[in-house]
């Protein structure tokens, strides 16, 4: 056996230890995510051998800065320490934790416990030496005060007086500012942190097909038509207006209505079959308008507080210019033809995927990344990324990081409906938000399990859910069979369980629910393959209901985060009850939903009053935000009855305090 050398690298005198720093994703391999203005709470196990006292600090900095900043940490029990810092800017940060055995603090701690006079005298000399060292590290007034203190400790002979001097709290605090940090242990990993703008955590998305926005049956919609639609969308209270791909659509192998294999001459094709002689991922479909008209739309939207998000789908129609210009970016079949997308026996011959194992992968990566940069140049900062789980993982990490270092405001929504580990990986790699399994979580048990995992599980450090009750690809059976109440139920769940949510409209607000085939989640006459003309003025439209819901969301900070979600029992399994509260508890919103779209349901909800900041023996007001009604409740158990035909859900703002005689001036 070869004997390894045993040179110990480092300073063996460093006795303090830092372990288990949190938050941490895969030991710091991936960044945790926060929002600008957040207080980042960092914890670690900090301890040393023996019983000397420790000091610990959070070290943190903007990644671009050279110098660490520090935040003090304090013990919270079981050798766990906690500290925090506030992030005031978007971008990348680093943080870690350091700790050291503090000789001065240890001396003071021991001194307090010493009993006999001789012992105190000798300990005072030791303390004076430590304080002299602190003085040497200080300057000005502090230095002088410390030096004077050391002198006092050396000269005083009376034990009681010595004790008083040594334990002077004020001087002790001065000395503690200048600790002896020679033997400081620094946790070896520098943990990464990405700070996003608020919309990465709190946002309401509205998806629509611009080409269906003309308001006239049969006329292809334009960006100008979309601009005319903005007041309608703003009235519903959405922040983000998201379009499926707006690029030229391939003509080769174009799909017809309802995904028919053969298209007629009038068929408009699928926007996801990107590229034709008219251009590719950096062009706009001529029928929608010009790039300048797109800019106008972006500006007009901004006037309504709405930002435009684009769908980025990295795939090509057979006539995309890339196919001829960069044949090396695609796989070939054994007959020499370009490999179309397939999942045998299914074939998608209108779509050519990129080959991420191409020898020209660097060139391919650079071009794809430049697509994001191009659209950022056109005023877009939010991207819904189509099927990221069918593209190489390393590409996403590299590309998102590259974009965000130049444009830290960029938001990437991962549209991956796939296996849990893959969805989590994409979120770790940098996606700001992720689609979820929400659409298929219908029962109270399913919802409780899944959202407890999202709100409390370790994945919350990097995966931010964006909840969609429907998408152009997903018309769930719950919606198909549950009628208008089902849409209301799923909308309330999405908007209150999720700080971020979205709907695909106008299909959603008009409760469009005919599937292409029984058992399918595809829409009949789907806008994916044809223009649709929507009657937005229908009396049964949910637009007004959505508006009230989004207003309640905006006005209640408790609904701006997902971490503060807590479920409460209801004695009826057709109902669900949960609350969100702000960290300081000044805002609390309780939602009760009847999950049965067919029948009225009622039950007793049981709250944890303490967790909600309510007093056990006082009444409290619940203010129903959809109807405006107010009720007085008291105690943890209250009765709720919900008729899906009228209102399948209550969203209550809890008002902690109601007026009593003590509110009159003369009571004082």
Q: Which residues form the interface with its own copies (CB under 8 A)?
A: 1-4, 6, 8, 10, 12-15, 17, 19-20, 26-27, 45, 47-51, 64, 78-79, 91, 110-111, 113-115, 119, 122-126, 129, 183, 333-335, 342-345, 347, 356-358, 361-362, 365, 389-395, 398, 401-402, 405-406, 419-422, 425
Shortest separation between residue 45's beta carbon and its own copies, angstroms: 5
Write down the catalytic residue from 386, 461, 521, 527. Answer: 386
Closest CA to 546 of 499, 587, 508: 508
C-alpha span between 399 and 397 (Å, rounded): 6
Question: In angstroms, rounded to a whole number, what is the distance separating the alpha carbons of residues 244 and 472?
Answer: 9
**Based on CB atoms, which residue is closest to its own copies, 141 or 344?**
344
Question: Please, is 67 exposed, middle or buried when counting C-beta atoms within 10 Å of its C-beta (0-12, 13-18, 19+)?
Answer: exposed
In the beta sheet, which residues pair with residue 510? none
Whichever of 339 and 443 has its CB closer to its own copies, that residue is: 339
User: Angle at Cα 384 formed by Cα 383 and Cα 386, nearest 5°?
Assistant: 130
DSSP sequence for 643-657: -TTT-SEEEEEEE--
Closer of 189 and 600 to its own copies (Cβ)? 189
Report in angstroms how near the CB of residue 428 gets to its own copies at its nearest: 9
Contact assessment for residue 563 and residue 508, using Cβ atoms and an 8 Å cutoff: no
CB 626 within 8 A of CB 647: yes
Marked catalytic residue, from 196, 239, 415, 512: 415
Contacts of 164 (CB under 8 A, 6+ apart): none
Nearer to its own copies, 34 or 428 (CB): 428
For the bound state, the minimum distance from the C-beta of residue 365 to its own copies, rounded and expressed in Å, comes to 6
Q: How far is the CB of 420 from its own copies (least distance, A)?
A: 7
Question: What is the pairing mode between strands 500-504 and 203-207?
Answer: parallel
| Identity of the residue, 359 or 661, whose beta carbon is nearer to its own copies in the bound complex | 359
386 tagged catalytic: yes
Q: Which is nearer to its own copies, 91 or 547 (CB)?
A: 91
Q: How far apart are CB 265 and its own copies at their closest, in Å?
A: 28
- Residue number, 363 or 643, with CB nearest to its own copies: 363
Whether the CB-CB separation of 600 and 614 falls below 8 Å is answered with: no
Query: Minimum distance between the CB of residue 401 and its own copies, rounded to whole angstroms?
Result: 8
Nearer to its own copies, 97 or 230 (CB): 97
**Which DSSP string corresponds to 567-610?**
EE-BSSTTEEEEEEE-TTSS-EEEEEEE--SSS-EEEEEE--TT
207 in catalytic set? no
Q: C-beta of 29: minimal distance to its own copies in Å?
A: 8
Q: CA distances (Å), 32 to each of 101, 463, 655, in order?
A: 29, 9, 34
Going from the C-alpha of 350 to that of each of 332, 336, 422, 487, 520, the distances in angstroms are 15, 17, 26, 33, 21
Smallest distance from the beta carbon of 421 to its own copies, in angstroms? 4
**Residue of 384, 544, 563, 545 whose CA lies nearest to 461:** 563
What is the sign, positive or negative, of the torsion defined by CA atoms of 600, 601, 602, 607? negative
Nearer Cβ to its own copies (26/665): 26
Give the closest residue to 466 by CA, choosing from 207, 649, 89.
207
Angle (CA) 142-172-179 rounded to 5° is: 70
Q: How far is the CB of 237 from its own copies (least distance, A)?
A: 35
How many angstroms separate the CA atoms of 53 and 616, rounded? 41
Cβ neighbours, 10 Å, residue 566: 18
Cite the active site residues.
386, 415
């Amino acid at each position: 056996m070869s004997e390894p050398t045993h040179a110990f690298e480092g300073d063996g005198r460093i006795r303090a230890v830092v372990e288990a720093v949190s938050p941490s994703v895969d030991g710091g391999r991936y960044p945790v995510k926060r929002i600008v203005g957040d207080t980042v709470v960092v914890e670690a196990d900090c301890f040393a051998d023996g019983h000397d006292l420790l000091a610990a600090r959070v070290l943190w900095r903007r990644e671009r800065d050279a110098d660490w900043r520090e935040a003090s940490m304090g013990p919270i029990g079981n050798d766990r320490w906690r500290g925090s810092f506030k992030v005031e800017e978007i971008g990348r940060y680093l943080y870690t934790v350091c700790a050291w055995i503090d000789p001065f603090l240890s001396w003071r701690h021991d001194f307090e416990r010493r009993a006999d006079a001789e012992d105190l005298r000798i300990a005072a000399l030791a303390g004076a030496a430590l304080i002299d060292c602190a003085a040497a590290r200080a300057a000005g007034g502090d230095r002088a005060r410390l030096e004077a203190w050391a002198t006092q400790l050396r000269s005083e002979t009376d034990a009681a007086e010595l004790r008083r001097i040594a334990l002077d709290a004020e001087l002790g605090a001065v000395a503690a500012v200048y600790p002896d940090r020679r033997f400081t242990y620094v946790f070896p990993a520098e943990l990464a942190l990405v700070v996003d703008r608020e919309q990465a955590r709190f946002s309401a998305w509205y998806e629509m097909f611009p080409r269906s926005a003309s308001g006239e049956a049969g006329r292809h919609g334009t960006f100008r038509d979309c601009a005319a639609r903005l007041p309608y969308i703003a009235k519903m209270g959405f922040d983000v207006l998201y379009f499926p791909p707006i690029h030229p659509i391939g003509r080769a192998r174009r799909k017809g209505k309802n995904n028919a294999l053969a298209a007629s001459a009038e068929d408009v094709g699928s926007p996801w079959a990107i590229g034709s002689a008219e251009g590719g991922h950096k062009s706009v479909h001529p029928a929608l308008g010009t790039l300048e008209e797109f800019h106008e739309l972006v500006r007009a939207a901004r006037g309504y507080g709405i930002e435009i998000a684009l769908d980025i789908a990295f795939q090509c129609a057979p006539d995309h210019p890339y196919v001829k210009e960069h044949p090396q970016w695609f796989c070939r079949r054994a007959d020499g033809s370009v490999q179309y997308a397939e999942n045998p026996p299914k074939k998608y011959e209108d779509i050519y995927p990129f080959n991420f194992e191409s020898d020209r992968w660097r060139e391919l990566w650079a071009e794809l990344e430049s697509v994001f940069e191009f659209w950022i140049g056109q005023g877009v900062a939010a991207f819904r990324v189509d099927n990221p789980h069918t593209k190489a993982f390393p590409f996403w990490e590299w590309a998102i990081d590259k974009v965000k270092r130049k444009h830290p405001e960029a938001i990437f929504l991962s549209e991956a409906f796939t296996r849990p580990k893959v969805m989590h990986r994409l979120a770790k790699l940098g996606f700001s938000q992720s689609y979820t399994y929400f659409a298929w979580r219908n029962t109270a048990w399913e919802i409780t399990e899944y959202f407890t995992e999202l709100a409390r599980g370790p994945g919350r450090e990097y995966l931010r859910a964006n909840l969609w009750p429907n998408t152009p690809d997903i018309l769930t059976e719950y919606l198909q069979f549950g009628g208008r109440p089902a849409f209301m139920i799923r909308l309330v769940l999405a908007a209150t369980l999720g700080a971020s949510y979205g709907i695909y409209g106008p299909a959603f607000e008009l409760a469009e629910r005919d599937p292409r085939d029984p058992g399918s989640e595809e829409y009949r006459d789907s806008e994916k393959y044809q223009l649709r003309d929507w009657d937005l003025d229908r009396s049964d439209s949910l637009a007004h209901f959505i508006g009230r819901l989004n207003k309640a969301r905006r006005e209640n900070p408790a609904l701006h985060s997902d971490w503060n979600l807590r479920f409460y029992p209801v004695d009826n399994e057709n109902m669900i009850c949960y609350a969100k509260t702000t960290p300081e508890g000044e805002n609390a919103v309780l939602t009760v939903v009847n999950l049965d779209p067919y029948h009225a349901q009622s039950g007793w909800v049981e709250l944890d009053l303490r967790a909600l900041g309510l007093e056990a023996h006082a009444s409290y007001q619940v203010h129903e935000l959809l109807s405006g009604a107010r009720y007085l409740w008291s105690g943890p158990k209250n009765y709720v009855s919900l008729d899906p035909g009228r209102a399948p859900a209550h969203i209550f703002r809890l008002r902690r305090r109601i007026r009593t005689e003590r509110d009159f001036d003369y009571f004082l």
